[in-house]
Structure 1
Amino acid sequence: MKRSNINICYVVVLSALIMSQVHVSVAANCNYMELVVCAGAVTSPEPPSSDCCAKVKEQTRCFCAYLQNPTLRQYVTPRDAQRVAKQCGVALPKC
């Protein structure tokens, strides 16, 4: 149960990181809860799944907003988010 709570927290933070790149219109689907599939990759050295990478690529425009969200930052470090994004072939923006 403790690991489950930690995973949820990391997913929330990673989602915030991804959502923080919303420099585009409201049309972007910035829902950090969709990044729950990345919890394992964010909380451990395991590589992200193809589902995780698909969601990271889908929400790239949201990264800056996610990174600037203090609620999410307490669960996912920018370093972890950058590692997962890099493994998925996605560059984090300069926010």
Structure 2
Amino acid sequence: MKPSSVVFFCMISALLLLRTPTAVESVTCDPTLLNPCAAAFLFSTRPSSLCCSRIKSQVPCYCQYLNDPSLSGYISGGKKVAAACGVSLPSC
């Protein structure tokens, strides 16, 4: 093997070993996780810190919830609650 080939092979091997894998975060879309937000959704009360953390964790599920006829009435009012928590919701 030529010395240049060995160096090239070592560099490629090092780059492959140093590359960090991309983590994919999976989210369980479960609207019952938003139960701590019920009062804020229904009565426009100030959301609790638990409510805000749950909203943040469920952001990837927002469009799915909004398209569900049994949830859309509650979730559509959730924009104000999300804004009060400092959470940006996606456009659906």
Q: Distance in 2 between matches of 1:76 and 1:59?
A: 14
Q: Distance in 2 between matches of 1:77 and 1:29?
A: 17
List gaps (5 residues or longer) in structure 2: 1-23
Question: How many residues align structurally?
Answer: 69
* 1:76 corresponds to: 74
List gaps (5 residues or longer) in structure 1: 1-24
Higher-Rg structure is 2
- Percent of aligned pairs with the same residue? 38
* 1:40 corresponds to: 39
Q: Which runs of 4+ in 1 moved over 3 A?
A: none
Q: Distance in 2 between matches of 1:90 and 1:77?
A: 14
When the two structures are superposed, what TM-score results if normalisation uses the length of structure 2?
0.68
Deviation at 1:59, TM superposition (A): 0.8
Amino acid at match of 1:44: F
Deviation at 1:60, TM superposition (A): 0.7
Amino acid at match of 1:91: S
When the two structures are superposed, what TM-score results if normalisation uses the length of structure 1?
0.66
Deviation at 1:45, TM superposition (A): 2.3
Pairing of 1:1-95 with structure 2 (within 5 A): 27-73=26-72, 75-76=73-74, 78=76, 80-95=77-92
Alpha-carbon contact 2:47-2:85 (below 8 Å) kept: yes
Change over 3 Å in CA distance of 1:27–1:91 after alignment to 2: same
* 1:5 corresponds to: none
Alpha-carbon contact 2:40-2:47 (below 8 Å) kept: yes
Q: Distance in 1 between matches of 2:47 and 2:53?
A: 10
